[in-house]
Amino acid sequence: MAQKKTKKNDAYDASKIQVLEGLDAVRKRPGMYIGGTGTEGLQHLVWEIIDNGVDEAAAGYASHMEITLHKDGSVEVSDDGRGIPIDKKPDGRSALEVVFTELHAGGKFGSGAYSASGGLHGVGASVVNALASKLVAEVDRDGSTWRLCFNERVPGNYLKSGAFKAGSKLAKVKKIPASRTGTRVRYWPDLDVFDPDAAIVYETVRDHVARVCFLVPGLHIKLQDRRGAGREAEEFVAAGGLADYVDHLSIGESVTDIMTIHEESTFEEKVPVDGKMSTVVRPCTIDIAARWVKGFETNIVSFVNTIPTSEGGTHVKGFERAMLKVVNDQLLKDARKLKKLAKTDNDRASTADVQEGLIAAVKVTFPEPQFKGQTKQELGTPLVQGLVYDAMKAGFTDWSNGGGKKSQVNALKEKLTQAVLNRVAAREQLESRRKASSLSSNGMPDKLADCRLHGPDSELLIVEGNSAAGPAKQGRDAEIMAVLPLRGKVVNAGKASLKQVVDNAEAQALITAIGAGSGRDFDLEAARYGRIIILCDADVDGSHIRCLLLTLIYHHMRPLLENGYVYAAQPPLFATKIKGEPIYAYTDDERAELSDKHDIEFTKWKRFKGLGEMNVEELAETTLNPATRVLKRMTMRDGAEASDAADLFNVLMGSDVATRKDYIIENSGLINQELLDI
């Protein structure tokens, strides 16, 4: 029997159906259009305006752009393209007004003003206006400079008095040479829409601009940040080509030269034409550049027209499928070192094997691409996958069978063979370690002092050695805090192979304790702790260990950093007492400030050389008690910087004396020459 409804229904009729007019939909759900209201979303507005100018350059109509970040928080982008049209539409509004006020209005549809552009959505300029408190657009065209302003999305212009007069009429600013054309857009983001900590990061804009210049040969871009003093304007221009970009991205010694593939093809697609679904032929240009280096990091960047697709898409899938196919059917077909593995069907390379040390760029150019979402991070056009697959397969096969230098082909075969051997050996080693006697009866490392409860509120405290582990175990909340002491240096995961990571006892203890696996198989939901807290001494050795731990997490347990699970404790450097009560200082400056404030002599301060020197009460108060401790959340940027720093630590603290001496001599200009004894 159906259960009777006991709650009276609210009236649900036509009055409940809302239609969001104009740009209201964008302001209601900004995440649908720019990906979110944090820093990423705020910067996406910059990309939308920049990419409009880049499309002009890619189409051959512009050669120079200027981007300025102003002190008042506004962003200005100009180009010397054709200029947004200023003539009127049938409804009496100028095309310039329509572009900034109507979603899906632009010159990138069908056989419009662009044969290939960043996307088919036509919402970029209007979305920027929707999320701006003010926007000023100027167009150089037809011998004059024309201006239209938007105040809270309402079109009009500002009078000399500063008052805003609404209206659709364009202001004729000045006369210019008839040959001069271009567009300038300056907008002020509506900060009420965005998160309080959202910011436009100069380095991110700089990277975007540099990348664009590689994609559009000959385009000159001037970038200036006026938000602070002392930063000079930078100018970017490149001879062009994906090969240059791959060379720019390559770090370390090369295994192969850069392999380039260029293919022009077509595909058929059904699209609405005059209200009816019709089949049209799409031209598609495929450009690929790839090389392998001796390291293990993979860097595959992809683009659709001039838009970077950080999430890949159908073009990247075609590239990866073809590469894996050629490697297994051509390069490793008769590899002697893999014959023993053939008996257990482990002789074929995986995608991860093929991509060890791979630096590649994949770009497809065609009209009206389909993206998954307005932010254009992933290509969705299905038929492009097959075209890229065919082009990559043919080009890579030719390179493998004589098109590439024989010495480099052989070097790549050896690298890929070793990758397969390392992966299989590491997996076998991991299985053995899971059953090893170093694990206690519950499968955890013997040295782990585990907590009783696991989940989002539990913590894994990673400490240096037994000296710090003792006080940490006594001062912790054993209900939710586990302690894992490290008895040796963690392997440098940025330089080590997967097998070397698995063989390292400290790395394996950490991976096992967290319980979520590693690498591509890492499962964040399986993590036994909600916080991973690194407790290291405030000295060089402590910094080294912290770098190595972050490097391991960055390369093999990356979701922990991506989702904010990793923290570094900030232990104090000094301690003293005032009227019997302890006070702590975390820096020399803070100690000096407290000394002046409380009239304390420096000699009264105790300096902690390490966590092991703290008694239980001091350690609990300063690094364990959630109410009084200081933690710093580690980010992906911290992980990347730690990975770079780990290499420097290896030079300065490793056993290779000659390399260390060369480094010191090379960088001797950075230190006091009188202190340098060589």
Residues with a catalytic annotation lie at 464, 537, 539, 541
Tell me how far apart the alpha carbons of residues 251 and 238 are, in angstroms, rounded to a whole number: 19
**HSE-CB of 296 using CA atoms within 13 angstroms:** 21
Q: In terms of Cα–Cα distance, which of 488, 354, 508 is closest to 426?
A: 508
**HSE-CB of 23 using CA atoms within 13 angstroms:** 24
Q: Which residue has the tokens 């509120």?
A: 457
Joined together, the tokens standing for residue 282 give 């799409």
Q: Strand 358-365's sheet: what is its strand order?
A: 259-273, 276-292, 358-365, 299-304, 307-308
Q: Which residue has the tokens 């770098």?
A: 547
Exposed, middle or buried, 103 (CB in 10 Å: 0-12/13-18/19+)?
middle
Residues 6+ apart with CB under 8 A from 192: none
Residues 6+ apart with CB under 8 A from 453: 479, 480
Buried b (16+ CB within 10 A) or exposed e, 74-88: bbbbbbbbbbbbbee
Tell me how far apart the alpha carbons of residues 279 and 480 are, in angstroms, rounded to a whole number: 62
Q: How is residue 228 annotated by DSSP?
A: S
Tell me how far apart the alpha carbons of residues 284 and 264 are, in angstroms, rounded to a whole number: 6
Q: Are 544 and 652 in contact, with CB atoms under 8 Å apart?
A: no
Q: Are 120 and 109 in contact, with CB atoms under 8 Å apart?
A: yes
Name the phi and psi angles at 532, rounded to 5.
-110, 115
